[in-house]
Structure 1
Amino acid sequence: MSVAKTIEQKLRNAFSPTELKVIDESHLHAGHAGARPEGESHFRVEIASGDFKGMSRVAQQRAIYAVLAEELKTDIHALALTVRS
Structure 2
Amino acid sequence: MPITAEEIEILIRESFPKARIEVQGDDGAHFAAFVEDESFRGLNRVQQQRAVYAALKDKMEGSQGELHALALTTKAPE
The answer to whether TM tops 0.5 is yes
Counterpart CA distance in 2 for 1:81 and 1:62 is 10
Matched, 1:48 2:48: no
What is residue 67 of structure 1 aligned with on the other side?
Answer: 55
Give how far 1:12 is off.
Answer: 1.2
Equivalent position amino acid for 1:52 in 2:
F
Identity fraction in percent = 35
Change (3 A) 1:60 1:15: same
- Runs of 5+ unmatched residues, structure 1: 27-38
Counterpart CA distance in 2 for 1:77 and 1:19 is 23
Quote the RMSD (CA, aligned, Å): 1.8
Q: How many residues get paired?
A: 72
Q: Deviations over 1:7-56 (max 9, x none)?
A: 111111211244211101x5xxxxxxxxxxxx310000011110111111
- Runs of 5+ unmatched residues, structure 2: none
Change (3 A) 1:43 1:17: farther
Counterpart CA distance in 2 for 1:80 and 1:2 is 15
> 3-state SS of the aligned residue for 1:70?
helix
For the pair shown, which has the larger CA radius of gyration, 1 or 2?
Answer: 1
Equivalent position amino acid for 2:4 in 1:
V
Which 4+ runs in 1 deviate beyond 2 A? none
